[in-house]
Amino acid sequence: MKTTAIIFGCLLIPLNLLPPQPCRASFFEMTLERNSIYTPGNMNLVVKLTDQATVQGKYTFGVNVFVSETVVRKQVLPATKDEPVVFELSFPETRSRANVRCRVELLIDGQFIEAHEKPLSLWPPLAPLEKRPKDKVIWVYDTSGGLQKIFKDLQVHAADATFQAIRDFQVPDIIFIGENLGPKEFQTLEDRILCKDESLEAIVLLRQDQFPEDWPVQVVSAEKLSKNVSSDPNSPLLSGLSRLDVMNMVSSAVPVQITEPKGKEWKVDSCISEPGKDQEQTYSYLAVIKERKPTMVYCQLPITRVFSDDPRSGLLLGDLLHFVYANSVPHGN
């Protein structure tokens, strides 16, 4: 007789298969290559048995895929310890965001043992940015060229400020700074770009591994983090992103600690934070610092390197653009 029960998160499996135990390690693991994809696109699900799977018998995985709680795939696949099972599924283009639930059940000799689930988000194809800035002079400074390509894909006109000619003959309203600048790039940024701050309205710095020592923000070492993250769902910088989206992006990010310089009155608005070592410290993954000019936005969430694979980064970059556009004035005013 098959007996299955959930007690404090532990699964009691059939007594004829294993001796009774209140809690045990899992018999299998499942991973999604990506948990958020553009459509049309492919899902790659990898399932493998663990060392805990020592019971004799025929192992099979039952794979069930639900889109908006409607089953679209239901397959049974053989399982061995020799190699993982790879399940692939191609999704057609969607017009709006859709939630997918991937459920895998382990059976031994046809008897249910345990199940794992993973969420997946489907997104419409990458499209040009809506309400693109038309009366702004935007600079992009990224020596990798990645951010320039992204702006081109979004059909947002931006000048490449890595070239001296652009810096000599244009005056920007908004500057976007690419990820992980080196010391020489930061020196160029300080000496030849940020010195134009009398005309600048906003500067957006994407995630950095480190900042110069004299900067008011510094990257926090991973050892200090609790990942007890809070976010502001009403922030315009997170428009369209769910709490789960934010946590997925934070998982691969390191925040900054912001120190207000002496003699300056700053207004710091951190929309994704976690507490520091003491009550006076706050570590921020996405913060806006306002003084007279310019508005500074520090975004430590991944964008450039994952843009083509993670739709959340595209939405976040669009939110950043809309935010600085809405909070600046036309050039020349």
Regarding predicted confidence, which is higher, 222 or 180? 180
Average pLDDT over residues 55-72: 95
The pLDDT of residue 208: 94
* 282 and 149 within one domain: yes
**How confident is the model over 147-190, as pLDDT tens digits?**
999 999 888 999 999 998 988 888 888 999 999 988 888 888 87
Token pair listed for 109? 């000799």
Residues with Cβ within 8 Å of 145's Cβ and at least 6 positions away in sequence, in order, are none
Would 41 be classed as within a structural domain? yes
SS3 assignment, position 154: coil
CB hemisphere CA count around 239 (13 angstroms): 9
pLDDT band at 333 (very low <50, low <70, confident <90, very high): very low
Mean pLDDT of all residues in the chain?
A: 85
Residues with Cβ within 8 Å of 194's Cβ and at least 6 positions away in sequence, in order, are 200, 203
* 279 and 205 within one domain: yes
Sign of CA dihedral 65, 69, 71, 76: positive
* 241 and 144 within one domain: yes
The pLDDT of residue 280: 61
The pLDDT of residue 187: 85
pLDDT band at 265 (very low <50, low <70, confident <90, very high): confident
The residue out of 94, 123, 152 marking a domain boundary is 123
Distances (CA, A) of 77 to 33, 42, 45, 83: 19, 19, 12, 13
pLDDT band at 95 (very low <50, low <70, confident <90, very high): very high
Most confident of 116-125, 129-138, 279-288, 290-299: 116-125
* 163 and 83 within one domain: no
DSSP 3-state percent helix, strand, coil across the chain (nearest 5): 20, 35, 45
* 156 and 302 within one domain: yes
Token pair listed for 23? 């809690």
Percentage of the residues of the chain whose pLDDT score is greater than 90: 53
| pTM for the predicted model, two decimal places | 0.81
Would 133 be classed as within a structural domain? no
Residue 222 DSSP label: G
Q: What CATH number does the domain containing 98 carry?
A: 2.60.40.2550
Tallying the residues shown for the chain, one arrives at: 333
Domain span at 26: 14-123
Q: What CATH number does the domain containing 294 carry?
A: 3.40.50
Would 4 be classed as within a structural domain? no
Average pLDDT over residues 243-266: 84
Residue 114: exposed, middle, or buried by beta-carbon count in 10 A (0-12, 13-18, 19+)? middle
The pLDDT of residue 263: 65
Average pLDDT over residues 30-48: 94
pLDDT band at 15 (very low <50, low <70, confident <90, very high): very low
